[in-house]
Amino acid sequence: MGDKEEVREGGDEVREGGDEVREGRDEAREGRDEAREGGFEVREGRDEVREGRDEVREGRDEVREGRDEVREGRDEVREGRDEVREGRDEVREGRDEVREGRDEVREGRDEVREGRDEVREGRDEVREGRDEVREGRDEVREGRDEVREGRDEVREGGDEVREGGLR
């Protein structure tokens, strides 16, 4: 009777080990899926970082253009003062250009701010994606460990079955 009990116990351990192997494989799949999702988020974050950088560049260009127009407007104002009678029209044009330049400077600054915000958001998404990749890798490791434990239990159960069968 002791041999039959050992065989039963060994069979139970083999079943339990098989269950743990399945659970480990499932966790490994889940970990791989999370790692993929994290990779996608990393890519999306990088795209947003690139877009933000482009907007920052565009904003800087507009700031430069606006500053140039401000300088041009100021020069025209100075020339208009020298030629008061003839230059009153030029003074008005210069002031308009100064206003337009200031508007462009404001718009450029707004774009720079928006670009920086997008860069921050993109970095946050990259961080989140990396965290998800790490979590996925950890789950893959845990799944592999469970698969190893399950295999060990299957081996032990098989050894007990053999020992029980030989007696």
Judged against a pLDDT cut of 80, whether residue 85 lies above it is answered with no
What average pLDDT does the structure give for the chain? 89
Per the structure block, which two tokens stand in for 88? 């009153």
How far lies 160's CA from each of 20, 45, 100, 107, in Å?
18, 54, 89, 78
pLDDT tens sequence across 105-131: 999 999 999 999 999 999 999 999 999
How far lies 109's CA from each of 34, 104, 114, 116, in Å?
39, 8, 9, 10
d(C-alpha 140, C-alpha 68), whole Å: 57
Complete domains list, the chain, with CATH? 2-166 (1.10.287)
pTM, 2 dp: 0.38
Residue with tokens 């069979």: 11
pLDDT tens sequence across 41-78: 889 999 999 999 999 999 999 999 999 999 999 888 78
